[in-house]
Amino acid sequence: MSTVMTLSLPPLPYADSALDPVISANTIGFHYGKHHKAYVDNGNKLLAGTDLEGRPMAEIIKATYGKADKAGVFNNVAQVWNHDFYWLSMRPGGGGAPKGRIADQINSSFGSYDTFKTELSQAAMTQFGSGWAWLVSEGGKLKVTKTPNAENPLVHGQTPLLTIDVWEHAYYLDFQNRRADYVSAWLDKLVNWDFAEKNLG
């Protein structure tokens, strides 16, 4: 009988060194190869033999959020989902102001790209401890939000468009404690606006 594997570690959409110098191959090796993989492995162990095994990640995340007895499942599955989304939120040669529909939506919702950039940077910088900063769509408008630990916008009925990981393992090897420099470089050189626009639907 074949084993149902709910979670998997998809290949990165670029080479380990493709995001240099902002994110080094060394960081990718630890972040993707160790941290992300551990969430996949632990999540599969926790899901094995339960009624959640084999269900889509978004369903599992919504079904376990806020439930103390399911905290381990939530934390690992949500972190798999968050990391899958984070890798796609970046691309080599990305960054800078967007064009097209996503640019129009940002201008409409925030007034300007610079205002959006300030808001996202502020969210990323003020997320105390570990967590994420997000651009989301909610009620026909775009907004910036932040979440602690494994939490993500799915549990709040929002549609994520892109995310920046501000757990220390995302940037510490390259930037040490300089989170502001990491966030600035991420926005200027890596953010994948094509991915964000696809998520608009």
Give how far Cα 83 sits from Cα of 39, 78, 79, 102, 154, Å.
Answer: 9, 9, 6, 22, 14
Report the C-alpha dihedral over residues 47, 49, 54, 57, rounded to 10 degrees.
-20
Domain annotation covers residue 3 = no
- Per the rule left: phi > 0, alpha: psi between -120 and 50, beta: everything else, 92 is beta
Q: Are residues 43 and 121 in the same domain?
A: no
Per-residue pLDDT of 105-157, as tens digits, reads 999 999 999 999 999 999 999 999 999 999 999 999 999 999 999 999 999 99
Domain count, the chain: 2
pLDDT at 4: 57
Distance CA 73, CA 47 (A): 7
What confidence category does residue 5 fall into, taking pLDDT thresholds of 50, 70 and 90?
low
Q: Residue 199: is its pLDDT beyond 50? A: yes
Write down the H helix ranges in the chain. Answer: 25-30, 37-47, 57-64, 71-88, 100-110, 113-126, 172-175, 179-189, 193-199
Nearest to 22 by CA among 91, 78, 73: 91
pLDDT at 149: 98
pLDDT at 3: 53
Q: Are residues 149 and 66 in the same domain?
A: no
Span 177-199, mean pLDDT?
A: 98
Q: Give the CATH number for residue 48.
A: 1.10.287.990
Q: Are residues 115 and 76 in the same domain?
A: no
Domain annotation covers residue 31 = yes
Q: Residue 1: is its pLDDT beyond 80? A: no
What confidence category does residue 6 fall into, taking pLDDT thresholds of 50, 70 and 90?
confident
Domain annotation covers residue 83 = yes
Give how far Cα 133 sits from Cα of 37, 92, 105, 179, Å.
Answer: 22, 20, 18, 12
Q: Are residues 82 and 117 in the same domain?
A: no
Q: Are residues 72 and 155 in the same domain?
A: no
- Domain carrying residue 183: 100-199
Per-residue pLDDT of 14-64, as tens digits, reads 999 999 999 999 999 999 999 999 999 999 999 999 999 999 999 999 999
Tokens representing 48 are: 């094995």
Q: Are residues 132 and 187 in the same domain?
A: yes
Least confident span in 5-14, 17-26, 184-193: 5-14
